[in-house]
Structure 1
Amino acid sequence: MSCRFAVLTVLLAALSGATTAMAQSAEASGTWLTQAGDARVKISKCGGGICGHIVWLREPTDTATGQPATDSKNPNPALAKRSMIGLPLFSGMQPAGPNKWSGQIYNADDGNTYASSVTVTGAETLRVEGCVGALCGGETWSRLSR
């Protein structure tokens, strides 16, 4: 009888460890490097969903002015002057399934906001996709820290 109890305890401990590992691998919170390696984005829990903002840029200054990079492509003149460091990228990102969130993503390269989804695809990878109508594209980000 004690042997069965020991086997059951070991089995439950192993299952518990696997569940914890799966939960950690599905966690979007942390700092991520974009596919091009030109920005780092910190993702955190935000309300019932997730938020993400730029925390690092490979080129943090505007080469033409020598000043810190700004959101210059934003069509709103007031927002076009905000710093790229700290710039929020996600809005309304809410759970949309296991390891997945849907909402909108801001693209500072063109100043537009797109329908988007963020999916944890592995312990160290995150798939970020955006769509304009039926045209969709995406990239895979790499985890830098939790």
Structure 2
Amino acid sequence: MRNLFLAAMLLVSFASMAQKLGPDHIVGVWQSENYKIEFFKEGEIYSAKLLWSREMFEPDGNTPKKDVHNPDENLRDRPIKGITHITGLVYDGGGYKNGQLYSVQDGNTYGFKGELKSQDKLETRAFKGVPMLGRTIHWTRVQ
């Protein structure tokens, strides 16, 4: 009887955690090994701006790098810090899809999707064409 009670409590615990992880739970600051980003919401669309990366500054450690690989020549002089580089992400039944990631490293735009694995863990995938041919990044919530 005791095991049945513990199993029921565990099930209720998981159910309540799943309910807490609604679409807006992605909003906030997240950090991976090489990046720190901040997700925000505009209407029903989620986007993220770049707060920090390992390659954000020139070798002197003080001069911010510019967006030199941007295909739009008018944007190549802007600093990469603070640019919105994830756009168009929509929530769909437990995951986020249809996003785009602009890479400051090469100036290309990639497909982007993500899934909250827990309250403070986010898994995203950036890809060119097919998600199987992409790169997975694991994030931890900062705020």
TM-score bin, normalised by smaller chain: 0.7 to 0.9
Structure 1 residue runs of 4+, over 6 Å off? none
Sequence identity percentage: 24
What is the TM-score normalised by the length of structure 2? 0.75
Structure 1 window deviating more from structure 2 (41-50 vs 132-141): it is: 132-141
- Matching of residues 51-70 of structure 1 within 5 Å: 51-58=47-54, 60-63=56-59, 67-70=63-66
Report the residue type matching 1:28 in the other structure: I
Q: Could you tell me which residue of structure 2 aligns to residue 8 of structure 1?
A: none
CA deviation digits over 1:51-91, x for unaligned, max 9?
10012344542126952122122222211211111111112
Matches within 5 A, 1:1-146: 19=16, 21-26=17-22, 27-34=25-32, 36=33, 38-58=34-54, 60-63=56-59, 67-134=63-130, 135-145=133-143
Q: What residue identity is the alignment partner of 2:87?
A: S
- Contact 2:102–2:108 under 8 Å retained in 1: yes
Count how many residue pairs are aligned between Structure 1 and Structure 2: 130
Q: Which residue of 2 aligns with 1:11?
A: none
Task: Give the unaligned 5+ runs of structure 1.
Answer: 1-14
Label 1:57 to 1:136 Cα distance change in 2 as closer, same or farther (>3 A): closer
Which is greater in Rg? Answer: 1
Query: What displacement does 1:105 show?
Result: 1.0
Counterpart Cα distance in 2 of 1:46 and 1:141: 21
Separation in 2, partners of 1:144, 1:95: 21
Larger RCO (alpha carbons 8 Å, 6+ apart): 1
**Deviations 1:17-46 (CA, angstroms, capped at 9, x unpaired):** x53x43444510110012x2x321000122
Q: Residues of 1 paired with 2:124 and 2:106: CA distance?
A: 17
Q: 1:65 to 1:126 in 2, by over 3 A?
A: closer
- Residue 50 of structure 1 and its aligned partner are, at CA, apart by 0.7
Q: TM-score, normalised by structure 1?
A: 0.74
* Unpaired segments ≥5 residues, structure 2: 1-11
| 1:6 aligned partner | none
RMSD: 2.7
